[in-house]
Amino acid sequence: MPDLFLTPASISYLTQFILAQAISLFLIGRLWKRRTRQLGLLTGFFALATLFIGLMLLDAAFSPYHRLLAVYAENTVLALALVFLIQFAYGFPQPYPQHKWETYAALVASLGYFLWEAGYMIYRYVLLLGPGTVVFRPNLAAYSMALILALAPVAFVRQSMAADGRSVSWLRKLWKPQGNAARGARAFVLVFGILFVLGLFNVFLIFTLPHTVYNAAMSLGVLTALWLFATNYINFVPGGVSVQAKLSILTLTLFLALLGSVGWLIAPSYIVTFDPDLTDGQTVRFTPNAAGGYDVEVAPFHFEAELGEIVQVSFLDAERNYPVEFAFPFFGKIYTDLFVSNAGVITFGEPYWPPNMQAATARTPALFPLLIELDTRPKPGDGRVYVRETPDRLIVTWYHVPGLYQPQALNRPEAIYTFQAVLYINGTFDFTTNGLPLPILFDPDATPAANPWLRGAVSGLGEPLHTNAAALLATAQAGDTPLIENYQLAFRHYLHEFMMPLAGIVLGGSLLLILVLPLLFRFAIIRPLETLTHGMRRMEDGDLAISLPVQNQDEIGYLTGAFNGLVAQLGDAIRNLEARVTARTADLDTANAHLRAEIAEREQVEATVIEQQRTLAAFEERVRLSRDLHDGLGQVMGYLNVQAQAVQTLLADGQPQAAQSNLTDLTQATQDAYADIRNHILGLRTDEPAPHDFMVLLDDYVQHFGDESGLVVSLSLPTAVPDALSGPLLVPAIEEQALHIIQEALANVRKHAHASRVEVAFSVAAEQVQIVIGDDGVGFAIADFELRSGEPSGDGSHHFGLEIMRERAVQAGGQVEVRSAPGQGTQVLVTLPRFLPAVAEGETGYLKGLRLLLVDDHPLFLDGLRTLLRTRGLTVVGVAHDGLEAQEKARLLHPDVVVMDLNMPRCDGLTATRAIKAELPQIKIVILTVAEDEAHLFEAIKSGASGYLLKNLDANKFCTLLTGLVRGDAPLAPGLAERILSEFAQNSGPDGGTNGDKPSDPLTERQQEILGMVAEGLTYKEIAATLFLSEKTIKYHMGRIQALLQVESRAEAIAFYHQQT
């Protein structure tokens, strides 16, 4: 049995071997109970993987020759394991028809690779065991292995995408797979992708990747892959795994993974203490003796300073040897053909070939001044190999040459070597060291020639190359005894003694975990769980009298107690169900009686409210009629009075013709007044705008007024709206109010001013129009009337016309101011908003044209709301009692606005809102509910609702908010604006909010003042009272603010204000 030499890599492979063996035994046990193709393929793969890891363990632990017996079989076993793995991958979680031919192609490729590896393995074994020739694998084999290793993760990628049935991109399927099968296949991509990466490391060896890095990657990479497989497989294995098996597998995996990395952590500190029997500045002489061997002794130090010529040698196979002709007797035979190598070797008769150094015995006569792979490529500042020949001796010097593998492997400054061999013509030869990188650090898992390996000489007659190391000076014997000192073997012995206890911990700990840990889990966890699950099965079978004992006060004990309580409650509920149903029925009957009484009471209250609303509507209509009659009939009566007096005067003066003319005008005015009153009485007047242009009507009226009154009346109109403004001078609804105000003002001039001249002048600003009606009459003291900035007159009975002018201006969103002084005439200043065309139509008329659908599950409230809206002139096209009926009515009736309750049976308001907005986005929906629920508020807005109102709102306020909906506002009940503001403030940033691209300061000072007060939570009415403006003016300003800020709603405007401040 060859000796084993433990190293960090071999310890890691040992943990891998134990873990892979445990997984294989686990899979074999499952296969014995459940024989399926997939489980058979996976079991075969892990059985072969266990064998492969065992061969890797022998590769790392054996001496150079014996490791070849394992190395030659490694790739063949791995190739066969990949055949099983790739077929398993194409069947996990199930075979897919679209991958049928792809599966066959992968099978052919993997089998072809296996057959090639098997044939090449046999060829290498024949040469090794026959003539003792060592053959390394060609470079092409490394590329082929990496390609075959890539097939497994590719197959799992393909299976993961096929298992995810979504119609999304392949990248999304891999990033977030859907379904347990797809996630399992994606997890195995990572597990077996590690093997592909390790295959790439094998390729990198061709490009002088340090063997230390390769061995560390192989040992830790395979261990990581096994750990990931174990943790993922127990989650995705078909049929599931017991808790005991999961705990045992995970504990063993974690334990071995930790111990596998311990060797790499603790070995370096011990390696630095190894001191090989190499002395710098020493000459060792080999002198032939009579027995045919050599006597070895330490000679006086001598280093030939004259080095000779540089020879071209390197570590590349074609440039490794430099031939020299020199007659030299060696072990009784004279050689004339010598070969100098870069590796510190001189061979006789044939070139030096490194693989032969791993054979069991020496087949080539050679001198080893110091066998180590050196980098003799020409580089600035580095030494080279020199040869100098004299008639009596040959001098070969490796001068200031760096080690080929040591700097990269040990991460230290380059190890520089200088040594010399002198061959004398009489057969004597000297080895001299004159520059060794002491202390020399050995790499335990690198190729042997990466470290100082051999010093001495072999005859090439079959001396064993890998015997135990001994002092060179003590081995000076004749015959076939090898005259060499094996530093690599001495180092392996030294390190092996240190690593042995760790191997014992690995083996003992693994045995303990495999045998003892499951028993501990069994008694501490598994048995209480089995008792609990047994009790659950009995409960499922109908046994409600079961009570389980609580064995321990831990989580399982808590679950057991909770289970006992649940069973007791369930049994009590079943036994007492009938009594509870009877009691609940009685409670429901009582509640039903109370509810009927409340309904009857509410019906009476609602009837009273409806009657009061009708009375209020009639009163409001009387006020409107009185105002309109005053505007029309009052002015006509005043005109009749003046004209009648004029007729009397004319008759008294004897001017019948002039009196006749005035009587004709009186007759026409009387007929017009009669027709106007008749229209009022019959209800034939409409709110439609005048059929003629406002300016034309005004001009005609002013001329007619001047002709009738005998006053000089001048009208100053703007020729056109300035280019910076958009739309007409006034919208139709405002034009009508302006015309009535001017008529009333002119009538007051005619009756009271005693003026000779009147001027009506218009001026236009960006948002408003100012009308000034001025006369040169007697004037009056303004304090007598106290009519300033829209305030009511102190003597409304005597100056009813002035009060009507003020009301009309306020209704249009403007104001009236009177300026006068005795003897200085009077000026009436009328300020009216221009309004934009989008909101310019009379709001009341347009609101009355809205078609409303009401949705509520309370019949009484629904009937009351419908009556309220109809008394206000709104059109209710239908009602619904739940969300499903609302969707049907919306499709059938196509209303303009749906007033939706929130909590309803069958389908709630939020669900119905989302459905209606998805199908009929043009319909506006206002949520109407009882409580100010913040969650419902935000969810309603996200669902597409245009507003959110409360059922306890005042009727006038309710209609006012609906008017805002007509203009595009989002109607919100008082108190909810601040909550929306908070939501916007949380979701908006200085750069990424909804208003990030708005202009920095597009508002006037007045608009900024109004927006600030709205942001503070004040209502339009409160703002109007504070600024001495009308509520309609405030609404108009808010409409302009939203347009200038390019926002959709008042809430966004408020959010913009807070961002700017």
User: Tens digits of per-residue pLDDT, 62-87?
Assistant: 888 888 999 999 999 999 999 999 99
Closest CA to 313 of 375, 356, 392: 375
Q: What is the model's pLDDT at position 760?
A: 92
DSSP 585-596: HHHHHHHHHHHH
Closest CA to 382 of 404, 362, 367: 404
Confidence at 797, pLDDT banded by 50, 70, 90: very low
At 253, list the tokens: 């995996």
Residues 645, 635: Cα–Cα separation, whole Å: 16
Report pLDDT digits (tens) over 133-157: 888 888 888 888 889 989 999 998 8
The pLDDT of 567-572, averaged and rounded, is 80
Residues 523, 957: Cα–Cα separation, whole Å: 73
Query: C-alpha distances in angstroms, 925 versus 131, 563, 906, 917?
Result: 95, 49, 19, 8
CATH placement of domain 842-974: 3.40.50.2300
| Three-class secondary structure of residue 707 per DSSP | helix
Q: What is the model's pLDDT at position 474?
A: 47
Q: Which residue has the tokens 């009301």?
A: 807
At 273, list the tokens: 């203490």
Contact by Cβ (8 Å): 294, 286: yes
β-partners of residue 816 are: 830
DSSP 488-505: HHHHHHHHHHHHHHHHHH
Q: Name the CATH topology of 692-735+742-841.
A: Heat Shock Protein 90 (3.30.565)
Q: Name the CATH topology of 976-1061.
A: Rossmann fold (3.40.50)
Q: Is 141 exposed, middle or buried (0-12, 13-18, 19+ CB in 10 A)?
A: middle
Core vs surface per residue 46-69: b (16+ CB within 10 A) or e: bbbbbbbbbbbbbbbbbbbbbbbb
Long-range Cβ contact pairs of 547-554 (< 8 A, separation 24 or more): 552/528
Residues in CB range of 1047: below 8 A, 6 or more apart: 994, 995, 998, 1053, 1056
Q: Which of 427-441, 779-793, 952-966 has the highest mean pLDDT?
A: 427-441
Peptide bond into 837 cis (omega under 30): no
Q: What is the model's pLDDT at position 629?
A: 64
Q: What is the value of pTM for the model shown?
A: 0.52
Residues 512, 22: Cα–Cα separation, whole Å: 13
Residue 1023 scores a pLDDT above 80: yes
Question: SS3 breakdown of the chain: % helix, strand, coil, rounded to 5?
Answer: 55, 15, 30
Q: Is 719 exposed, middle or buried (0-12, 13-18, 19+ CB in 10 A)?
A: exposed
Q: What is the model's pLDDT at position 561?
A: 82
Could you give the count of Cα atoms lying within 13 Å of 686 in the half-sphere of its Cβ? 4
| Three-class secondary structure of residue 322 per DSSP | strand
Contact by Cβ (8 Å): 932, 975: yes
Could you give the count of Cα atoms lying within 13 Å of 46 in the half-sphere of its Cβ? 24
Residue 993 scores a pLDDT above 80: no
Confidence at 685, pLDDT banded by 50, 70, 90: very low
Residue 837 scores a pLDDT above 50: no
Residues in CB range of 935: below 8 A, 6 or more apart: none
Contact by Cβ (8 Å): 435, 416: yes
The pLDDT of 340-350, averaged and rounded, is 94
Residues in CB range of 541: below 8 A, 6 or more apart: none
Q: What is the model's pLDDT at position 495?
A: 92
For the chain, the C-alpha Rg in angstroms (whole number) is 53
Q: What is the model's pLDDT at position 434?
A: 94
DSSP 202-229: HHHGGGT--HHHHHHHHHHHHHHHHHHH
Report pLDDT digits (tens) over 499-556: 999 888 888 877 777 777 777 777 777 777 778 787 888 877 777 778 888 777 777 7
Give the single-character DSSP code of 473: G
Contact by Cβ (8 Å): 1017, 976: no
Give the single-character DSSP code of 429: E
How much is the mean pLDDT over the chain? 79
Residue 48 scores a pLDDT above 90: yes
The pLDDT of 636-644, averaged and rounded, is 66
Q: What is the model's pLDDT at position 400?
A: 92
Q: Which of 40-44, 317-321, 1023-1027 has the highest mean pLDDT?
A: 40-44
Q: What is the model's pLDDT at position 791?
A: 46
Query: C-alpha distances in angstroms, 185 versus 36, 235, 250, 626, 754?
Result: 18, 12, 20, 85, 102
Residue 793 scores a pLDDT above 50: no
Q: Name the CATH topology of 518-575.
A: Helicase, Ruva Protein; domain 3 (1.10.8)
More confident site: 790 or 1009 = 1009
Q: What is the model's pLDDT at position 343?
A: 93
Query: C-alpha distances in angstroms, 447 versus 64, 162, 318, 334, 820?
Result: 9, 45, 20, 33, 115
Contact by Cβ (8 Å): 282, 302: no
More confident site: 135 or 619 = 135
Query: C-alpha distances in angstroms, 741 versus 433, 826, 831, 943?
Result: 122, 15, 11, 46
| CA 324-329-332 angle, 5° bins | 140
β-partners of residue 367 are: 346, 457
Q: Classify domain 8-271 by CATH architecture.
A: Up-down Bundle (1.20)
Residues 182, 174: Cα–Cα separation, whole Å: 9
Closest CA to 147 of 117, 123, 188, 120: 117
Peptide bond into 93 cis (omega under 30): yes
At 48, list the tokens: 């072969």
| CA 391-395-399 angle, 5° bins | 155
At 288, list the tokens: 């032939």
Contact by Cβ (8 Å): 729, 693: no
Beta-carbon neighbour count of residue 428 at 10 Å? 18
Q: What is the model's pLDDT at position 835?
A: 53
At 787, list the tokens: 């009519």
Of 99-108, 329-338, 851-860, the range with the lowest mean pLDDT is 851-860
Closest CA to 438 of 212, 284, 282: 282
The pLDDT of 146-171, averaged and rounded, is 87
Residue 397 scores a pLDDT above 90: yes
Category of 95 on φ-ψ map: left (φ > 0), alpha (ψ -120 to 50) or beta: beta
Residues in CB range of 15: below 8 A, 6 or more apart: 223, 256, 257, 259, 260, 506, 510
Residues 774, 818: Cα–Cα separation, whole Å: 10
Q: Which residue has the tokens 């009077």?
A: 826
- Pairing between strand 851-855 and 897-901? parallel
More confident site: 601 or 421 = 421
**Percentage of the chain surpassing pLDDT 90?**
20
- 536, 538, 542, 544: CA torsion to nearest 10: -70
Contact by Cβ (8 Å): 1001, 1059: no
